[in-house]
Amino acid sequence: MKFEGRCVMITGATRGIGKATALAFAKEGADLVITYASSEKAAKVVKDECEALGAKVLCLKSDVSKEDDVKALFETAVEEFGKVDVLVNNAGITKDNILLRMKTEEFDDVIETNLKGSFLCMRAASKIMLKKRYGRIVNLSSVVGVRGNAGQLNYSASKAGVIGMTKSLAKELAAKNISVNAVAPGMIETDMTAAMTDSAKEEMKKMIPAKRMGTPEDIAHTILFLAEEGSGYITGQVLCVDGGMAV
């Protein structure tokens, strides 16, 4: 039970990587704060599954791109658990399009949620962690933020920005026993990739040295590793979990 007595906040925890991460922390004894943007039903399913594993779970609706929402989120978490030891910035959206067809709103919406949302949550978490002189922040970037991808200029920009913020904040907080790292998933089996045709999936697998798509659990295990107390000397790093795509 590596996280017994620790409070872990995971944004966007209703499905895919977020859900797998919440379940992984629950199995290791963490108290959980999980957030959702719209689907209360899906969030309740995750809450129930985590509680069945013995975890205490606070489930809150929050738009991470809104400063007031984030402030209320962290205040409620502290009221319930007294602290936030681990922050997993997972909430994110995609609105893909090639540049010439991309609407300004599509760019703004993705930047607001993925980049600004991570900033707001890191700032709120840092204030709490600094008082305790302990913390682990794990940001979800993407292999797209490392390599770029046609049709995802807005998403690539947001995830590359997350990497820049990760490295900068790591330097600010390292001396305070607070680590800040990023995980950059490659092609992961989620609801988004489930919509791809079989032929498209096979073509994608050819680009992956491991010859398979990753699972949400692959990412969750990596997040847990970076969030462990014993991983505190690792900070400012971007760990690509992509089967070798970024090599």
Active-site residue list: 155
CA atoms within 13 A on the CB side of 150: 0
**What is the rounded distance in angstroms from the CA atom of residue 138 to the CA atom of residue 221?**
12
Give the C-alpha separation, 163 to 158, whole Å.
9
Helix residue spans in the chain (DSSP H): 16-27, 40-52, 67-81, 104-110, 117-132, 143-147, 153-173, 191-194, 198-206, 216-227
Q: State how far the Cα of 85 lies from the Cα of 132, in Å rounded to an integer.
A: 9
Q: Are 9 and 84 in contact (CB under 8 A)?
A: yes
